[in-house]
Structure 1
Amino acid sequence: MEGTKALGNHFEGVAARYLMSRGVTISERNVYNRGGEIDLIGRDGDTLVFFEVRYRGAGSLTDPASSVTFPKQKRLLKAASFYLHKHGLWDTLSRIDVIAISPGTVKKYRVQWIKNAIQAG
């Protein structure tokens, strides 16, 4: 695997498979707009969910969830807002979740799903 883009695509695939195994329907991947990039978009029941996927290796100084900095959170909120506006979905129940992936001990990866991780306000 070469480059950060290929690595990102790999872990977005890991996250998508994890989410689908838990009943989430993934509708879009790597959505770009004026607000920024959204890794995955899907439905968890009646809720439209924007997913930020983060991976950190064994030697990383921060865990994957902590790597979603305040500036990144602001960009995600902006990207989600642009998406909702563009598609006329302002009245749709939505949230932003983080999928944190790190090397596992029993399984290949440890996946943590943090629901409603980033909120406006």
Structure 2
Amino acid sequence: MQAKDAVGRYGERVATRYLSDRGYEVLDRNWRGTRGELDLVARRGGTLVVVEVKTRRGEAFGHPAEAVTRAKLARIRRLTGEWLHTHAVPRREVRIDVVAVVVPRSGAARVEHLEGVV
């Protein structure tokens, strides 16, 4: 399990760097709510972006984004509401994105950013 956790943490670092390089301001990482965790909360312009990061070593078991199910998205929506309430953020546009990271055996990680999945 530790190797899987290390891959996930690496993927979150890659996703954070990827988003920062594209003008996103990361506000929170690994925020724990009452029923789960939000990987990243960021802001770009007037939009608050909640980001689910999925990382895999390859695509033998499918693309990483395929692991984001309807149930997972419903949990992310609930947690987003909790994050907004906890942080007393003024009402603004909110979007949920998925950043899929594939870490091959050699070479750089591949990143795919899916915007507005909900």
Aligned pairs (5 A) from 1:1-121: 2-89=2-89, 91-103=91-103, 108-118=108-118
Structure 1 residue 90: Cα displacement: 5.8
Corresponding pairs, count = 117
Q: Which amino acid aligns with 2:111?
A: V
8 Å contact from structure 1 (residues 36, 78) kept in 2: no
Residues 23-32 or 85-94, more deviating: 85-94
Structure 1 residue 59: Cα displacement: 5.0
Deviation >4 Å, runs of 4+: none
8 Å contact from structure 2 (residues 7, 55) kept in 1: no
% identical aligned pairs: 35
Identify if the C-alpha distance between structure 1 residues 4 and 87 changes in structure 2 by more than 3 Å, giving closer, same or farther.
same
8 Å contact from structure 1 (residues 51, 96) kept in 2: yes
Q: Which runs of 5+ in 2 are unaligned?
A: none
Instruction: Give TM-score scaled by structure 2 length.
Output: 0.87
Deviation readout 1:28-49 (Å, 9 max, x if unpaired): 1000011421001111111111
Deviation readout 1:12-37 (Å, 9 max, x if unpaired): 00000011111111121000011421
Superposed CA RMSD in Å reads 2.1
Structure 1 residue 6: Cα displacement: 2.6
8 Å contact from structure 2 (residues 29, 39) kept in 1: yes
Measured in 2, the distance between the counterparts of 1:97 and 1:47 equals: 12
Identify if the C-alpha distance between structure 1 residues 59 and 117 changes in structure 2 by more than 3 Å, giving closer, same or farther.
closer
Q: Which amino acid aligns with 1:46?
A: G
2:117 match: secondary structure: strand
